[in-house]
Structure 1
Amino acid sequence: MNPHSLFSPADPRRPVRPAARDLQLLGPYQLLQRLGSDRSTQLWRVRPEADRPASSTDLLLLPVANGAQPLAEGVAPARLSALPPDGLLRGRRVDLGPAGHGCHLAGVSGLTLLERLGPEGGPVPSPADWVAWMAEMLDHLASLHEAGLRPPGLSGHTVLVEPGGRIRLIGIELAREMDPRGEGRREDLLLAGLLLHRGLAGRWALDEPDLPRAAQRLEREIVRLGWALPQPLPAALRALANRAIDHDPARRPLSARSLAQALRGWLDSHRAQRPDPLERLLDQVPTAGVLPAHADLPEHLAALNRLEGQRIDAWIVCLFDEPALAFELLRGLGAVGLAGQVQPDEIATLRRAVQLVGLHGVRQAAQGLRPWPGALDHTAAQSLAHRLAQASRAAHLAERLCPADHDGEAAGLLALLQALGELLLAYHFPEAQRQIEALTQSTAPLPSGLRPLTLEAAAQAVIGTSPQALAQGLARHWGLNEALQHAMQPLPSDRPVRAPETRLDTLRCAASAAGELAAGTPPQTVEQRFQRALGWTRGEASRAVAALTLAH
């Protein structure tokens, strides 16, 4: 094939997968997938022709024929070896014949920034996470500049995010000499500013994914971060990001090192101003309680009084309607050290808590709850009431849907615990909850390629942690065992449900199914996901929902 046909820049948002019948070859490499390209470089996932395993993690970075080129002889290896090793992913400079030179990277672990921002890249990075990545990238860029060198290109496909979160620049073997006037330094810094903008804005500046081309357009066009952003953005960070791509070069940062220091300064200030949300929660619980008593608490206590002398099972079902009381009993179990004294595949249960304190103890625990609605205003109280009702419904459904040879009460408790994170958000962080809802339920049209955030991503953006992390942190504080902490995480709704391997897995599965039903997922959809894992008969989810509706 004509090697120059590889080098026409393509939109890096649309990776190319060659058909099996038309495999693209370049020297000894089979080109499998183009991961990104711009006017300077292209990055390909490749397989060496002599070694064709079932999958490959090898990458090949190529300079584009009509873009900036490294010197013909390349930079002296001694100069490259003197560079700091941590932030530069080492590869091998390879001769590709008429196509020139490339950089082969074998066994690469991680995702490029472009992949990380793609639909399969995982949760959207919070502004703080993105700023930390950019600061680290700028440090590596500064090391190159201070050695009188430039990377072959700086774009979303030439920066790697390793599994542990470390940032690496790739293609250093194709590094270029810095020009005497330092124009290359200013260009690299502008490209870094455009990358910073992309992660914060959720879209490419000027809708141009080719960063060198976008940098040229900035000579005659002005770009600022808009106000309709995918995640909330503090004013100080907005100002830093806008300055990095300012139309006037004199107003931009002087060097990669200075921009990295400015971003880290903002990051340190941001973290100092926002205390750890779990610490804040644990500080509030002694005075505000875990949750306030339900508005219907007197009615629920009357029902408990009528059950005196009956089997504990009847008490437990009644406690499902009062999550605050159920959590208080569970906390008490942890306080006396019994919650952790169970077998690894079991969990502490409400039955054990009720057996410990008796009906009199349950009444005392109820009297210690904060009255409804605590310090919440009317809107926040309505939001919490809705979530409490949904959690109670999930607990009742979990008990009904649990396989007959398993503990339905334990499944109901897990359903309550799987809802605990969102309940804590609604009660202890009501303002943050409103922001999170706005990010996850956007009704306004979003720019092409953007979607409303997931609950986890939105919570990370607003308070710096996820609802599940809050719930698990509180469970650890109570002394609940690791088995329960694991089981209180609902199964991801976007992944297939695997067959449970233990009894506890089965309880977690039943609780997750109940949670999806209580949230309004159609029973047919839930049944398709969980039928095989829980051994349901056809229509069992629909019958459970109908029976619960009649009972209440």
Structure 2
Amino acid sequence: MSDTPPAASPLKSFGRFELRALLSKSARSLIWLVHDPRHGQALMLCMPREKPNSAAALEHWLRMAHGGERVQHPNVAPVFEIGQVESWPYVAYDRGLGETLEERLARQKAPLPLDAANWIAQLLEGLAFAHEAGHAHRDIQTASLVIDAQDKVRLVGLEVAQEVFPASVDFNTVTRRAVRESAEEDVLCVGLLLNRILSGRPVLEENDLQQVVQQMQPIGRELVRLGWETPHPIPDPLRAICNRATDRQLRQRYHLARSFWRALDGWRQAAAYDSGGPIVLLLDKLQRGGHLPTTISGLHRFTAGSGLETQHASALSEFVLKDMALSLELVRRVNNALKQAGHAGETVLNMQRAIQMLGLDGLQFAANGLKPWPGTLAPVAAELLRQLMARVTKAAEVAQALRPAGYDGEVVQLITVMQNLGRLLLQYHFPDDAQQIRQLMVPPEPTEDQPNPPAMSEQAAAYAVLGCDLEALGAAVARHWGLGDELLQMIRRQPLDAPVHPPRTDADTIRLTCSFANELVDALGLPEPRRRPGVEVATRRYAKALGVGLREVMEALNPGAHKPSTAAPRAGDTAAPAPSLRQRLTQRSGS
């Protein structure tokens, strides 16, 4: 036997780099784990799947890669080196940045939904910054993000997968595919990544996300939606966000990484801290700009006039209730004053009592603090807010007409308004988001497979845009204003998918009456053929619980067509309020 040891198998190499493992291979790019003997460290090499087909193409590739290198963001991996080996270009990253998402999923099969949202939100922050700087990735895969031990995420491979043109093309004159189009494809692939993590399996059983994109509608025929058999229960807002990102309708998807990030960040903050995201942003806007602008043009002159002192409390109350902004401002001020005085369990919703407690100076101060119409809104958004306020006012009138005898009409009116508080504040402070939600609620175009496609619900659309629903916005503001727990329960509408049970308390009665009125007015906003059926469906839902029929409903919706004597008592009636609400909800002047 020979004492000579067998010859070692030659190391696979790429230039000076020793190839250790192929981390990712897609139709557009490769990622290698290599050892760099020059620096004595491990690197990740990202390179295109196809070699540039000319010297001009290589020069163009390197120029774009160096442009991507200048994108500096905490969630974009810093480039270690850009170079070429025999006309094969590459971008190198320090392996110490972390493991790829693909490696993380190999050892952690089922990350928690909140962890998945945190990773993808960080990826979107870096990607949004790169897009806004004029760069795109074009091949986001599970190996395109690296995660360190502290769960910090960084994007690798920016500008590695570039356009492939014929060798004869003049790169000084050719027009590259629009960055916006490439950026939208990046955002779609991030949505597929989120689906991959939450579902625990490759999307459409395909590891290359570019292959998935080619199979999806409208290019292919496949639908990509998050299934119900997932390693962990998926909260409804997160499910809506994920499904919107991969919706079959192009117009329903996120077109900007920043919009996707806002929705996801809003949900993850709310899930982690029970506040945050759009809620914190809204509260900040309320501090700086108030809740709503006043719609009464002569309000300041009215409150400044000497005749105010002679006005009876009921007349002042009637005047205040005509302006939604002033009504809410008095509710905020009087209940915040109670909270500061140590009466946190007491809630005042009666305007006459609120005016008595604040005094005329307090009323004037509240009125003078409101912004005149249309506040900060542009004309189109202002008109949409005016239309929304008109619908809410109509719902309040309907609720007063349907309320049982003995319940304070002012309380019923304000609860009806506050059941729409989130919608009103969204339209005023985030009109673009409100428009997105309306667009998502438009039914998609019918197809052979789905001749009558369902529209997205308002709740699902809000989840997809904000990461939380509109009631959560309204409830957060009401809590911020110091309103009590009983009121917070009353301003939540009855869920559309939940049965309506007979009320057990006075608060339940008011909540259901206001919720019923809001559903009726929503039905009036449906297209003409669906309007009457919508009213009938809402009536059947509440008829037994509230003891009302279709005749009473039609009288409430069309008061001018019926005798006034058939209507329920309104604000100012002398009937005593229900006992359990007399102290906290329905106190009148002189009670």
TM-score by length of 1: 0.52
Q: Report the alpha carbon displacement of residue 314 of structure 1 after superposing the two structures with TM.
A: 5.3
The RMSD of aligned alpha carbons is 5.3
Give the equivalent residue in structure 1 for 2:484.
481
Does 2:521 correspond to 1:518? yes
User: Equivalents in 1 of 2:470, 2:362: separation in Å?
Assistant: 30
1:432 partner amino acid: D
Identify if the C-alpha distance between structure 1 residues 459 and 169 changes in structure 2 by more than 3 Å, giving closer, same or farther.
closer
What do residues 347-403 of structure 1 show as CA deviations (whole Å, max 9, x unaligned)? 644343222123453343222210100121111111000111111222222222111
Residue 322 of structure 2 corresponds to which residue in structure 1?
321
Amino acid at match of 1:529: R
Q: Which of 1 and 2 has greater Rg?
A: 2
Shift of residue 202 of structure 1?
A: 8.6
Match of 2:461 among 452, 458, 461: 458
Q: Is the 8 A contact 2:267 2:467 kept in 1?
A: no
Q: Does 1:357 align with 2:344?
A: no
Paired amino acid for 2:468: T
> What's the CA shift for 1:549?
8.0
**Contact 2:217–2:223 (Cα < 8 Å) also in 1:** no
- Native 8 Å contact 1:335 1:479 kept in 2: yes
Deviations 1:413-466 (A, max 9, x none): 110101111111111011111221111124744684553221122122223322
Across the two proteins, how many residue pairs are aligned to each other?
Answer: 356
Is 1:533 the counterpart of 2:545? The answer is yes
**Deviations 1:227-277 (Å, cap 9, x if unpaired)?**
833633245599xxxxxxxxxxxxxxxxxxxxxxxx99x9789989xx821
Distance in 1, Cα, partners of 2:336 & 2:352: 16
The answer to whether the 8 A contact 1:432-1:462 is kept is: yes
Separation in 2, partners of 1:193, 1:354: 64
What is the deviation of 1:189? 5.3
Q: What's the counterpart of residue 252 of structure 2?
A: 231
2:391 paired with 1:370: no
Q: Structure 1 stretches of 5 or more lacking a match?
A: 1-82, 90-112, 114-124, 143-160, 171-184, 212-223, 239-262
Q: Report the 3-state secondary structure (helix = DSSP H, G, I; strand = E; otherwise coil) of the residue aligned with 1:539.
A: helix
Trace 1:111-150 onto structure 2 (pairs within 5 A).
none
Q: Is the 8 A contact 2:479 2:488 kept in 1?
A: yes
Deviation at 1:477, TM superposition (A): 1.3
CA deviations on 1:132-177 (whole Å, 9 max, x unpaired) are: 8x99xx89xx9xxxxxxxxxxxxxxxxxx9xxxx95869xxxxxxx
The 1-side partners of 2:266 and 2:308 are apart by 55
Aligned-partner Cα distance in 2 for 1:506–1:390: 22
In the aligned structure 2, how far is the partner of 1:342 from the partner of 1:544?
35
Partners of 1:267 and 1:421 in 2: CA distance: 19
Matches within 5 A, 1:66-145: 87=110
Render the CA deviation track for 1:287-319: whole Å, top value 9, x for unaligned. Answer: 3210000155649959x9999767645544443
Q: How far is 1:412 from its partner?
A: 1.3
* 2:224 and 2:246 in contact (8 A); partners too: no
Q: Secondary structure at the match of 1:484?
A: helix
1:517 to 1:446, Cα distance in 2 relative to 1, 3 A: same
1:524/1:541 contact within 8 Å kept: no
Aligned amino acid, residue 421 of structure 1: G
Give me the whole-angstrom Cα distance separating, in 2, the residues matched to 1:300 and 1:393. Answer: 27
Question: Relative to structure 1, is the Cα distance of residues 341 and 403 closer, same or farther in structure 2, using a 3 angstrom cutoff?
Answer: farther
Query: Residues of 1 paired with 2:403 and 2:267: CA distance?
Result: 45
Q: What per-residue deviation string (whole Å, max 9, x for no partner) do you get for residues 24-65 of structure 1?
A: xxxxxxxxxxxxxxxxxxxxxxxxxxxxxxxxxxxxxxxxxx
Query: Alpha-carbon deviation of 1:407?
Result: 2.9
Q: 1:197 deviation in Å?
A: 9.7
- Contact 1:290 1:324 (C-alpha < 8 Å) held by counterparts: yes
2:504 corresponds, among 476, 501, 504, to: 501
Q: Map 1:154-173 to 2 at 5 A.
A: none
Structure 2: gaps spanning 5 or more residues: 1-105, 125-141, 147-193, 227-244, 270-275, 525-531, 565-591
Q: 1:207 aligns with which of 216, 222, 242?
A: 222
- 1:307, 1:186 → 2: CA distance? 68
Identical-residue share of aligned pairs (%): 30
Q: 2:556 aligns with which of 532, 535, 544?
A: 544
CA contact (8 A) 2:437 2:461 kept: yes
**1:463, 1:516 → 2: CA distance?**
23
Aligned equivalents of 1:208, 1:267: Cα separation in 2: 22
Distance in 1 of aligned mates of 2:483 and 2:217 = 39
Closer/same/farther in 2, CA of residues 208 and 131 from structure 1, 3 Å limit: same
After TM superposition, give the deviation of residue 496 of structure 1 in Å.
Answer: 2.7
Post-superposition shift, 1:286?
2.8
Q: How far apart are the structure 2 equivalents of 1:416 and 1:424? A: 11
3-state SS in 2 of match to 1:385: helix
Q: Distance in 2 between matches of 1:472 and 1:531?
A: 27
Q: CA deviation at 1:525?
A: 3.8
Deviations 1:78-117 (A, max 9, x none): xxxxx9798399xxxxxxxxxxxxxxxxxxxxxxx9xxxx
Paired residues of 2:320 and 2:326 also in contact (CA < 8 A): yes
Higher mean C-alpha deviation, range 293-302 or range 448-457: 293-302
List per-residue Cα deviations over 1:518-548 (Å, max 9, x = no partner).
Answer: 3344454433222221222551121122227
Are the counterparts in 2 of residues 291 and 424 from structure 1 also a CA contact under 8 Å?
yes
CA distance in 2, matches of 1:418, 1:267: 25
Structure 1 distance, partners of 2:218, 2:120, is 16
- The verdict on how the C-alpha distance between 1:466 and 1:270 changes in structure 2, with shifts beyond 3 A counting, is closer
